């Protein structure tokens, strides 16, 4: 997927506390089928991991288990009806590293993929990827946008 292909905003909202971002994640989880790929764009501290915690909790994973997989690249969570793979591509320098870890088995498998720092691997994201942007507005306020997936 290219980053220019999802310029249309389907949904836009603001949260005013970390708990609200988690609550959005819990609600958003209703939209997710097994096999879905969700890319979470946003700077450090935007709230990507909070949103992931909300999604995971709604699907049956204990929130305390959910943390940014900064040193491991992927965390896998069980407890949901399907596997959840939580990626952090922050330390990826070349998409090649992602090829080597067999990313296709994850992105085109039956689990749910939740990806922090997806810009580094944007060319490898499936066209159907659900794209969320989280923007830091002020200390407690975040703007979340859900983008229209590619329809080609």
- To ligand ADP, the closest distance from the beta carbon of 3 in angstroms equals 18
Among 48, 50, 53, 142, binds Mg ion (CB under 5 A): 48
Nearest to 146 by CA among 126, 136, 131, 129: 131
Long-range Cβ contact pairs of 45-51 (< 8 A, separation 24 or more):
45/136, 46/134, 46/135, 46/136, 46/142, 47/15, 47/18, 47/21, 47/134, 47/142, 48/116, 48/134, 49/116, 50/18, 50/21, 50/22, 50/25, 51/21, 51/22, 51/24, 51/25, 51/132, 51/134, 51/144
Site for ligand ADP in 38-97 (CB under 6 A): 42, 44-50, 68
Q: Note whether 33 and 124 are within 8 A (CB).
A: no
- In the bound state with ligand ADP, the residue whose beta carbon lies nearer, of 18 and 109, is 18
Among 15, 21, 49, 129, binds Mg ion (CB under 5 A): 49
Determine, following the binding rule CB under 5 A, whether residue 120 of this chain makes contact with Mg ion.
no
Site size with Mg ion, rule: CB under 5 A: 4
- In the bound state with ligand ADP, the residue whose beta carbon lies nearer, of 5 and 136, is 136
Contact string (CB under 5 A) for Mg ion, positions 66-105, x = contact: --x-------------------------------------
Q: Which residues bind ligand ADP (CB under 6 A)?
A: 15-18, 20-21, 42, 44-50, 68, 116, 140-142
């Amino acid at each position: 997927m290219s980053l220019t292909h999802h310029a249309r905003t389907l949904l836009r909202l603001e949260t005013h506390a970390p708990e609200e971002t988690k609550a959005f994640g819990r609600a958003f989880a209703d939209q997710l089928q097994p096999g879905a790929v969700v890319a979470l764009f946003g700077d450090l501290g935007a709230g990507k991991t909070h949103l992931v915690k909300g999604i995971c909790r709604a699907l049956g994973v204990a929130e305390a288990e959910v943390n940014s997989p900064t040193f491991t690249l992927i965390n896998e969570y069980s407890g949901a009806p399907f596997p959840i793979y939580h990626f952090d591509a922050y330390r990826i320098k070349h998409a090649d590293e992602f090829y080597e870890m067999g990313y296709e088995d994850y992105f085109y498998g039956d689990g749910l993929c939740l990806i922090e720092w997806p810009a580094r691997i944007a060319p490898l994201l499936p066209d159907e990827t659900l794209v969320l942007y989280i923007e830091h507005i002020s200390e407690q306020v975040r703007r979340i946008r859900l983008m229209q997936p590619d329809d080609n």
